Structure formats: structure tokens, C-alpha cells
Amino acid sequence: MNDKIRIMVIDDQAVVRQGFVALINTVPDMEVIAEGINGQQAIDLYTQHTPDVTLIDLRMPVVGGVEAITAIRANFPDARLIVLTTYDGDEDIYRSLQAGARGYLLKDVFFEQLEMAIRNVHAGSRHIPTAIAMRLAERMSSTDLTGREMEVLELIVQGQSNKEIGASLGISEATVKSHINNILSKLGVTDRTQAVTTALQRGLVHLR
């Protein structure tokens, strides 16, 4: 009878993944049963091994972490996944938890905290550190950008002018200005540069 907590680790950075695997395997009642380097492998390996707890990064090739979590939870509603990432933008946190993650930790976490998170999530609880919960609360209290406003914001981050944005989206320059005014208001900033900084900090958009 194997009473160990069976864990899967998904991270495209080999050194990081192997480090966590080695640490987890030092815990007597835990064992890593599968490793993967992208979201598609996470989906395939989960189906193959059905681990008790999965640690998964957000930014990975082929299929990203949020998409993988969504796919796994669609087929395995009781799947217990913990996001383990370098990203602490409130939008990243929100999307991950909306997708069904039960925990969210940053990679600079002490191993004792990771071990506790694994145990909590395995027991059926959530594990959201206070600092992460505060970021999520900020996200929940903010006004959502519309789909079009998100498109405009992404093009602003790419450095496009109002005229270029209008051409890209097939809308007038006046309409672009209207969208930008709404974006600035919703983000609580006064100019495009601040909008870009805030959008990147919050994880609304990411540099390609």
C-alpha cells in the first residue's frame, strides 16, 4: 500500500524543475511520479498518471499553464493543481484560479511553504498566501477592460501609435482615442507610458 502523496511537476526550466523534484523526493511521504516541460505534456501526463497534486508553471511553450489547467480540470474536475511561477501579476493569479488552480506560489518560496501547500491542497483545501490574496482582491475590485480595450492596450504595449492601432483594428483614430481614455480611467493612470507599466505589472499583457 503506497500512502505517499503522488506529485507531478511541470516546468520548462530544467534546473528549476529538477530542483523541486529533488527537494520533494526528500520528504518521506511524497514522491514525484511524473515530470513535464510544457502544458501539453501536463495534460497528457495527468491523464496517464492522475497524480494527487500537480505543480505547474504559467509561461511554457506549446500550451501555457492556464490553458493546461483548464483542459485538465475539464476532464478531471477533482484535479488538484498548484501554480508555481515567477509571475505575481494580479491578472495571472486571477486567470489561474478561475481555471481551477487550488494554490498559487512564487518560485522563490521557502520549501517548507511549498510542502505545506502540497499538503493543504492534497487535503482538499486551497493555499493562497496573504500577499497573493491581496493582489487578487485588488484585481476583483478593479473595473474589467472590454475585449476591444484589451486589443488596444496590447497594441499600445507593442508601441503602435493611435493611427497604427486604428489601421490594425479597422477603426477610426477618434475611436482609438476613446478606447485609450477608457483604458487610462480603468487602470487609474494618466498617460500611455503609465498604462503600459501598469498593464505589464498586473499581468494584463506580456512582452513577446
Query: Residue 13 and residue 30: Cα distance in Å, rounded?
Result: 22
pLDDT at 73: 94
Q: What are phi and psi of 59, to 5 degrees?
A: -95, 105
Kindly give the confidence (pLDDT) of every residue in the chain, 208 residues in length, as a single tens digit, with 9 standing for 90 and above.
468 999 999 999 999 899 999 999 999 999 999 999 999 999 999 999 999 999 999 888 888 889 999 999 999 999 999 998 887 666 778 888 888 999 998 888 899 999 999 999 999 998 887 777 776 766 655 557 888 988 999 899 888 999 999 999 999 999 999 999 888 888 888 888 888 888 887 777 777 6
Instruction: Note every long-range contact of 151-159, with CB atoms under 8 Å and residues 24 or more positions apart, other chains counting.
Output: 152/176, 152/179, 152/180, 152/183, 153/183, 153/195, 153/199, 153/204, 153/205, 154/205, 156/180, 156/183, 156/192, 156/195, 156/196, 156/199, 157/196, 157/199, 157/200, 157/205, 157/207
* Residues found in the chain: 208
How many helices and strands, by DSSP H and E, does the chain display? 10, 5
On whether the CB atoms of residues 88 and 106 are closer than 8 A, the answer is: yes
Q: Which domains does the chain have, with CATH numbers?
A: 5-140 (3.40.50.2300), 147-202 (1.10.10.10)
On whether the CB atoms of residues 3 and 29 are closer than 8 A, the answer is: yes
pLDDT at 1: 47
Q: Provide the 8-state DSSP code for 38.
A: S
What pTM did the predictor assign? 0.68
10 Å Cβ neighbour count for 174?
10
